[in-house]
């Protein structure tokens, strides 16, 4: 089986100029490992953003009509928040929680996955009900609630600080999302309103033991507390599973984890936490970005003396993570600079600031970058040896992943016996799912 996998990989890699990069020598910086295959195949984990239903008008139904849902194993719903009291919560609090998007907002027949309009008296509507309908249409698809993210990791450190606070925190998250006991909002919500929707919990604490967003608390003891928090989640999820009637249920537990070795060492006891995680999603992007004054790659597969996917994988393997539990993050967006000077292909050159973006300066969805690539104004540049691409028009540069790059990364996942691929975020793909299709075909089945 190993020989057949590598044979297919060799063919794919040759077309991308990555034969040398994917040879055994390329992985020499990582320890020997013996992958344990997941019988269900490679994981394909996509983040669905709560706020994407507004300006982007990206709805749960789009996952079905684009064909994306059929190519996913997991949907991570971003995000659930942690309150100042150290507990999971929801409501309608601007910038902090959006129950309207989650489970209150009614969808008409045209906007619903099942083609049936929501009624005024049903207890679950909004994104949650649409995700429930999507799961009914795609048996085997799992939905995870992702807790935190960059902006909502503020109170993780406090919630994880003591045995009592960890127990209360985890219990509150299980009550809200796994048991589905939603706050009552008019006719919506109530005990068990979202029961059965979420199949597990994804911890997106950015970052234990080191700096994240400006208001995110971090402490040296976060490292050990994170380990204890993961254990508490595993213990309570398993205990709740035993109380359920019907077929035996395993609630999955995952996390988003960093690429920087300093952040790994500051916040993660890798061998210990990996015993309790079903898998972790590796940061495979934002290696560089428009907050810097020099253009650079944001998501290269390989890079000498710099952050890269291969470096991230190697650092987690060396610290004791099993290969089959490592899922490689892949961006469905690009990082961009403007005011680039110095000529050439624009990479490694000074810039005056972030490039204008549709939703935020310095960031742009792949579907918009694809249009730029087809416009004739920008030139597509590739580093085939190191596996990354960028657009440059002489002034503005965007570093991003296109289908060709993602095929190379999928080949890498197969070659290294890794767990699969994760995507941030699904709303960045084209309406026909160009990126998810490239990865799906590249991964195939084990």
**Residue ranges making up the domain that contains 65:** 2-335+410-443
419-428 pLDDT per residue, tens: 999 999 999 9
Mean pLDDT along residues 1-18: 37
Q: Model confidence at 246, in pLDDT bands (50, 70, 90)?
A: confident
The count of structural domains within the chain is: 1
In-domain check, residue 237 = yes
**How many whole angstroms separate alpha carbon 337 and alpha carbon 297?**
11
The pTM (predicted TM-score) of the whole model is 0.92
* Closest among 82, 90, 83 to 50, alpha carbons compared: 90
In-domain check, residue 359 = no
323: Cβ contacts below 8 Å, ≥ 6 apart = 33, 35, 317, 416, 417, 418, 419
Q: Is the pLDDT assigned to residue 17 strictly greater than 70?
A: no
Q: Which are the catalytic amino acids?
A: 206
In-domain check, residue 393 = no
318-375 pLDDT per residue, tens: 999 999 999 999 999 999 999 999 999 999 999 999 999 999 999 999 999 999 999 9
pLDDT at 3: 28
Q: Is the pLDDT assigned to residue 16 strictly greater than 80?
A: no
* Closest among 204, 195, 203, 202 to 249, alpha carbons compared: 195
Q: Is the pLDDT assigned to residue 54 strictly greater than 70?
A: yes
In-domain check, residue 274 = yes
Can you list the positions of beta strands (E) in 27-73?
43-49
In-domain check, residue 62 = yes
**How many whole angstroms separate alpha carbon 163 and alpha carbon 183?**
26
In-domain check, residue 374 = no
* Closest among 222, 71, 48, 186 to 128, alpha carbons compared: 48
**How many whole angstroms separate alpha carbon 111 and alpha carbon 100?**
16
74-127 pLDDT per residue, tens: 999 999 999 999 999 999 999 999 999 999 999 999 999 999 999 999 999 999
Give me the CATH number covering residue 64. Answer: 3.20.20.80
**How many whole angstroms separate alpha carbon 311 and alpha carbon 313?**
6
**How many whole angstroms separate alpha carbon 218 and alpha carbon 209?**
5
Q: Is the pLDDT assigned to residue 183 strictly greater than 50?
A: yes
Q: Model confidence at 13, in pLDDT bands (50, 70, 90)?
A: very low
159-169 pLDDT per residue, tens: 999 999 999 99
**How many whole angstroms separate alpha carbon 444 and alpha carbon 446?**
7
* Closest among 244, 161, 254 to 203, alpha carbons compared: 254
Question: If you search the block for the tokens 């999820």, which residue do you land on?
Answer: 237
pLDDT at 9: 38
pLDDT at 18: 53
Task: Pick left, alpha or beta for residue 394 (phi over 0 → left; psi -120 to 50 → alpha; otherwise beta).
Answer: left
In-domain check, residue 114 = yes
Q: Is the pLDDT assigned to residue 11 strictly greater than 70?
A: no
pLDDT at 4: 29
pLDDT at 446: 67
Give the mean pLDDT of the chain: 92
Question: If you search the block for the tokens 């999971």, which residue do you land on?
Answer: 88
In-domain check, residue 404 = no
């Amino acid at each position: 089986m190993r020989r057949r996998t590598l044979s297919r990989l060799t063919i794919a890699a040759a077309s991308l100029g990555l034969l040398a990069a994917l040879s055994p020598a390329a992985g020499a910086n990582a320890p020997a490992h013996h992958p344990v295959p997941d019988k269900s195949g490679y994981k394909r984990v996509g983040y669905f953003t709560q706020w994407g239903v507004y300006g982007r008008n990206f709805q749960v139904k789009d996952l079905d009509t684009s064909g994306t849902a059929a190519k996913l194993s997991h949907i991570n719903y971003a995000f659930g928040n942690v309150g100042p009291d150290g507990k999971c919560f929801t409501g309608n609090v601007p910038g902090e929680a959006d129950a309207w998007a989650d489970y209150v907002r009614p969808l008409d027949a045209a906007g619903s996955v099942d083609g049936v309009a929501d009624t005024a008296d049903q207890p679950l509507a909004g994104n949650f009900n649409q995700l429930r309908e999507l799961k009914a249409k795609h048996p085997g698809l799992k939905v995870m609630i992702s807790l935190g993210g960059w902006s909502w990791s503020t109170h993780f450190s406090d919630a994880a600080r003591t045995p009592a606070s960890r127990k209360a925190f985890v219990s509150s998250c299980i009550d809200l999302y796994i048991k589905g006991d939603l706050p009552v909002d008019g006719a919506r919500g109530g005990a068990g309103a979202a029961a059965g929707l979420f199949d597990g919990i994804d911890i997106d604490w950015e970052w234990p033991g080191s700096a994240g967003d400006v208001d995110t608390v971090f402490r040296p003891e976060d490292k050990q507390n994170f380990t204890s928090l993961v254990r508490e989640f595993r213990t309570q999820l398993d205990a709740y599973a035993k109380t359920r009637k019907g077929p035996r249920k395993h609630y999955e537990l995952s996390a988003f984890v960093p690429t920087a070795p300093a952040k790994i060492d500051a916040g993660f006891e890798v061998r210990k936490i990996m015993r309790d995680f079903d898998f972790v999603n590796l940061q495979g992007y934002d290696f560089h970005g428009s907050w810097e004054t020099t253009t650079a790659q944001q998501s290269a597969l390989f890079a000498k003396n710099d952050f890269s996917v291969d470096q991230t994988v190697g650092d987690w393997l060396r610290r004791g993570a099993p290969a089959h539990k490592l899922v490689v993050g892949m961006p469905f967006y690009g990082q961009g600079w403007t005011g680039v000077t110095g000529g050439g292909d624009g990479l490694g050159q000074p810039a005056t600031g972030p490039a204008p973006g549709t939703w935020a300066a310095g960031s742009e969805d792949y579907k918009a970058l694809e249009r730029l690539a087809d416009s004739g104004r920008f030139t597509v540049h590739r580093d085939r040896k190191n596996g990354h691409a960028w657009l440059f028009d002489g002034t503005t540069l965007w570093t991003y992943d296109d289908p060709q790059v993602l095929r190379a990364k999928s080949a890498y996942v197969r070659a290294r016996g890794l767990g699969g691929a994760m995507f941030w975020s699904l709303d960045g793909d084209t309406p026909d799912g160009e990126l998810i299709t490239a990865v799906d075909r590249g991964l195939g089945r084990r």
